[in-house]
Amino acid sequence: MIVKPRYLPMRLHVNSALAQRLAKNHPILPSLDNSSSRVEAGFQGEVETDFQLQFLNDKEHHIFRDLRLPHSLHPFQLDCLILSTKAIIHLEVKNFTGTLFFDEKFKQFYQTANAVEKGFQHPLTQLRRQSAQLKEWLDSHGFPSIPVISQLVISNSSAVVKTNDFSIRRLVCKADQLKTQLETLIGKDTPEVLKEKELRKLSRLLLKEHTIMISDILAHYHISYDELIKGVQCPSCEKYKMERKNRTWVCPHCLFHSRDAHIRALLDYFLLVKPEITNRGFREFTCLSSARTATELLSRLNLPHTGENKWRVYYAPPDVQAILEEKWKNSRNRLRSFIRR
Ligand SMILES: [Zn+2]
């Protein structure tokens, strides 16, 4: 059963929001587009791997797609986690093309594609680090006995994998070999280490501990808050600064009316500035003059909040990723240049 579905990566939403709020000739836009292409390719590889996991017995396996768990140093991200009463399988998915060489003598990893050789951070180092973090997390939550099986999955079916140490065969497989690989690693005779009840408990705990990542994108690209275009964007003509008139947003350019166009602006703020907002911050970002209207709009959204009156702080809802995905599905324009599917 799929306990946690896979959503579009937050980074795509962040990049899209940023591209929409920068001047059309901003020098950062090409890098933003490159970043989105990379994230999109990675996402496609993960979706391909999800497809290959359909053979798993639905009742016996709890599947978590794209899980991010807290750790004493930094939260760690797992592309896919499969929980059963026998083991936890952790999959790290890479979508490399071309010929991939795992040089285990010098601990190097490189890709040859279109006659160009390029080195990358060794994926098995990352896999081992994540595996150790997951074991620590399980220990600290009272599940020390469950074995963790980590696998690096090469999602691109045309990629060629080479190595000078065949013992890594146990750790690396192509997506289309995943079924055979997992059947080899966990056989019918593998003993059960968790009871059904414990499995459900661990499953609930993983879901509860999952956190979304909202990166500090402005700092990453050295962009100041002042460079962001402020105001509510018109969902029809995409121009900015819709005006609030008679409890509705009106576009001064095309006269389109919207009752909830401020929600998109609020999501942009959460993605680009910080995952919390005050009444003043909301007014500044949406170019709204009335504090009373801002209070009315914000309180109607039932966001988690702390403090009262002018000190009230509203937080991004925990299911913001699902909300963003829904918004994207309903939008003709958002992410248009980033996702082609
Ligand atoms: Zn308009």
CA distances to 56, 76, 87, 148 from 195, rounded to whole Å, are 19, 27, 12, 16
Instruction: Compute the distance from residue 230 Cα to the ligand 1 centre, in Å.
Output: 15
Confidence of residue 58 (pLDDT cuts 50, 70, 90): confident
Q: Is residue 335 pLDDT above 50, yes or no?
A: no
Query: CA–CA separation, 162 vs 101, rounded Å?
Result: 5
Residues 6+ apart with CB under 8 A from 324: 7, 8, 10, 13, 267, 271
User: What DSSP assignment string belongs to 271-286?
Assistant: HHT-SEEEHHHHHHHH
Q: Give the full edge-to-edge strand order of the sheet including 276-278.
A: 276-278, 313-315, 305-306
* pLDDT confidence of residue 330: 66
Higher pLDDT, 115 or 340: 115
Instruction: Compute the distance from residue 80 Cα to the ligand 1 centre, in Å.
Output: 41
Instruction: Tell me the average pLDDT across 76-98.
Output: 94
Cα 313 to the center of its chain, rounded Å: 25
Task: Look over the chain and give the mean of its residue pLDDT values, rounded to a whole number.
Answer: 90
Confidence of residue 187 (pLDDT cuts 50, 70, 90): confident
Q: Is the whole-model pTM more than 0.75?
A: yes
Instruction: Compute the distance from residue 232 Cα to the ligand 1 centre, in Å.
Output: 10
* pLDDT confidence of residue 338: 42
Confidence of residue 188 (pLDDT cuts 50, 70, 90): confident
Instruction: Compute the distance from residue 264 Cα to the ligand 1 centre, in Å.
Output: 14
* pLDDT confidence of residue 337: 44
Instruction: Compute the distance from residue 91 Cα to the ligand 1 centre, in Å.
Output: 45
Mind listing the pLDDT tens digit for each residue in 116-169? 999 999 999 999 999 999 999 999 999 888 999 999 999 999 999 999 999 999
Instruction: Compute the distance from residue 254 Cα to the ligand 1 centre, in Å.
Output: 4
Contact 328, 267 (CB under 8 A): no
Instruction: Compute the distance from residue 276 Cα to the ligand 1 centre, in Å.
Output: 28
Place of tokens 């819709």: 242
Q: Is residue 43 pLDDT above 80, yes or no?
A: yes
Instruction: Compute the distance from residue 249 Cα to the ligand 1 centre, in Å.
Output: 10
Instruction: Tell me the average pLDDT across 241-257.
Output: 95
Instruction: Compute the distance from residue 288 Cα to the ligand 1 centre, in Å.
Output: 17
Instruction: Compute the distance from residue 261 Cα to the ligand 1 centre, in Å.
Output: 11
Instruction: Compute the distance from residue 278 Cα to the ligand 1 centre, in Å.
Output: 27
* pLDDT confidence of residue 340: 34
Q: Is residue 332 pLDDT above 60, yes or no?
A: no
Instruction: Compute the distance from residue 242 Cα to the ligand 1 centre, in Å.
Output: 8
**172 burial class (0-12, 13-18, 19+ CB within 10 angstroms)?**
buried
Instruction: Tell me the average pLDDT across 103-123.
Output: 93
Instruction: Compute the distance from residue 332 Cα to the ligand 1 centre, in Å.
Output: 14
Q: Is residue 44 pLDDT above 80, yes or no?
A: yes
Question: What element of type H or E holds 3?
Answer: strand 2-4
Q: Is residue 336 pLDDT above 60, yes or no?
A: no
Instruction: Compute the distance from residue 206 Cα to the ligand 1 centre, in Å.
Output: 43
Dihedrals phi, psi of 128, to nearest 5 degrees: -65, -40
- In 3D space, the residue among 283, 9, 53 whose CA is nearest the CA of residue 155 turns out to be 53
Instruction: Tell me the average pLDDT across 317-332.
Output: 78
Query: CA–CA separation, 178 vs 182, rounded Å?
Result: 6
Dihedrals phi, psi of 190, to nearest 5 degrees: -60, 130
Instruction: Tell me the average pLDDT across 11-26.
Output: 93
* pLDDT confidence of residue 100: 96
CA distances to 83, 264, 280 from 288, rounded to whole Å, are 48, 14, 9
